[in-house]
Amino acid sequence: MAITKLAQMFDVLKSKSKKRLVAAYANDSHTIGAVNQAVEKGLIDATLVGDEETIKKVCLEHKIDVTKFKIVQEADEVKAAEKAVALINAGEGDILMKGLVSTDKYMRAILSKDKGIMESSNATLSHVSVVEVPNYHKLLIVSDVAIIPAPDLKQKITIANYLIRTAKALQIDMPKVAVIAATEQMMPGMPACVDAAIISKMADRGQIKGALVDGPLALDVAIDKESCEIKKLVSPVAGDADCLLFPNIESGNVFFKSSTKLSNGELGAVVFGAKVPAVLTSRGDSELTKLYSIALAALIAK
C-alpha cells in the first residue's frame, strides 16, 4: 500500500533492517535530536562526526543518552565532512547526513574527485523532496528545488528517474510524473514545454520506465482535477500527480517554500547521485524535517 503520510514511513521501516547513518559535523541540537529519535525508533545506528565535547554537551542539555551513538572526533567542519565521506567509502555507512557543516563544504566533500562518493564520474547530483501538504490527498515528490539551477534535457531525464525511484520507495506502484511548465499547451518557443514533450514521449516509448509521465503540464492541471475538467484536459497524470519535475530551480524552490511556509506543509528530502542517499536539510530546518529526511533516506538506501 502506498505511503500517503510522512509518518507512515516509520511503520514501514520497522519491518526492514536498520541502516547505518553517518552525520557530518553533528554538533547541533536539531541534528542530534533527529538522529536520536531515528535511533529510538529502530530505524538506524548512528555515527556522529564532530567535536566530541560539544556533542556531549548538547546531549546533556537535551537529556539524550550519548552512549547511543558512536562519536568520531573532528572539531573542524571541513575535515568532519571529509571524514564522514571517508567512512561511507570504507563501507561503514548506508546514509550520509549533513549536520552543522555549510552546504557548500558538505557538497564539496561528496563531489571530491579523489575522496568523494559520487556514483560515477558523470553522475548527476539532484535534490528530491517529499512534501506533505494538508490540502492535497497524498504526498508530492518534487525536484529539483536546491541543486541544479537550470537542468538540461539529459539532467531532467535523470531527475525523472530519481523521482520514480523515490516514489517506488514510498510503495507507489505506478507513479504519475507531471513535467511542469507554465502551460499545458505545447509552445515551441518555451524550452520547458519542448523538454516536457520529449520526456513524455520517451516514457510512452519505454525509454523512461515504471511510471506514467505527461507534460508539459501547468501546476494547476497537474494537481487539481477541477482545473482539468474546466480546461477539458484528458491525461493519465493530470489532476492526480505523485511527482512534479520542475523546469528550473526558481520554480521548484518557490513551490517548495510556499508549500511549507504558507501551507503548513512538512517534508523530507535527500540528494541522489552519490553512492548512498545524502540527507541535505537546511541548518535551520526543524528536528521533524530532519527525522523525516532520515526515514526517507533509510527507505531509499540499498
Q: What CATH number is associated with residue 231?
A: 3.40.718.10
Could you report the per-residue pLDDT of 96-128, keeping only the tens digit for each? 999 999 999 999 999 999 999 998 888 999 999
Mean pLDDT, the chain, rounded, equals 96
Could you report the per-residue pLDDT of 146-175, keeping only the tens digit for each? 999 999 999 999 999 999 999 999 999 999
Domain annotation covers residue 2: no
User: Per-residue pLDDT for 282 more than 80?
Assistant: no
DSSP string, the chain: ----STTHHHHHHTTSPPEEEEEET--SHHHHHHHHHHHHTTSEEEEEEE-HHHHHHHHHHTT--GGGSEEEE--SHHHHHHHHHHHHHTT--SEEEE-SS-HHHHHHHHH-TTT--BSSTT---EEEEEEE-TTSSS-EEEE-SSS-SS--HHHHHHHHHHHHHHHHHTT-SS-EEEEE-S-SS--TT-HHHHHHHHHHHHHHTTSS-SSEEEEEE-HHHHH-HHHHHHHT---SSTTS-SEEE-SSHHHHHHHHHHHHHTS--EEEEEEESBSS-EE---TTS-HHHHHHHHHHHHHH--
Question: Whole-model pTM?
Answer: 0.95
Which residue is it, cell 523521482?
163
User: How many domains is the chain partitioned into structurally?
Assistant: 2
- If you average pLDDT over residues 281-300, what whole number do you get? 90
290 and 206 belong to one structural domain? no
189 and 295 belong to one structural domain? no
Q: Are 141 and 162 in contact (CB under 8 A)?
A: no
State which residues form the domain around 249.
126-261
139 and 250 belong to one structural domain? yes
Could you report the per-residue pLDDT of 34-86, keeping only the tens digit for each? 999 999 999 999 999 999 999 999 999 999 999 999 999 999 999 999 999 99
193 and 149 belong to one structural domain? yes
151 and 239 belong to one structural domain? yes
User: Per-residue pLDDT for 283 more than 70?
Assistant: no
Instruction: Quickly state the pLDDT bin for 256 (edges 50, 70, 90).
Output: very high
Sheet architecture: strand order including 176-180: 70-73, 44-50, 19-24, 95-98, 278-279, 266-272, 126-132, 140-143, 243-245, 176-180, 212-217
84 and 111 belong to one structural domain? yes
Domain annotation covers residue 133: yes
164 and 238 belong to one structural domain? yes
Q: How many CB atoms lie within 10 A of CB 302?
A: 7
289 and 227 belong to one structural domain? no
175 and 225 belong to one structural domain? yes
The grid cell for 148 is: 541544479
User: Per-residue pLDDT for 284 more than 90?
Assistant: no
165 and 85 belong to one structural domain? no
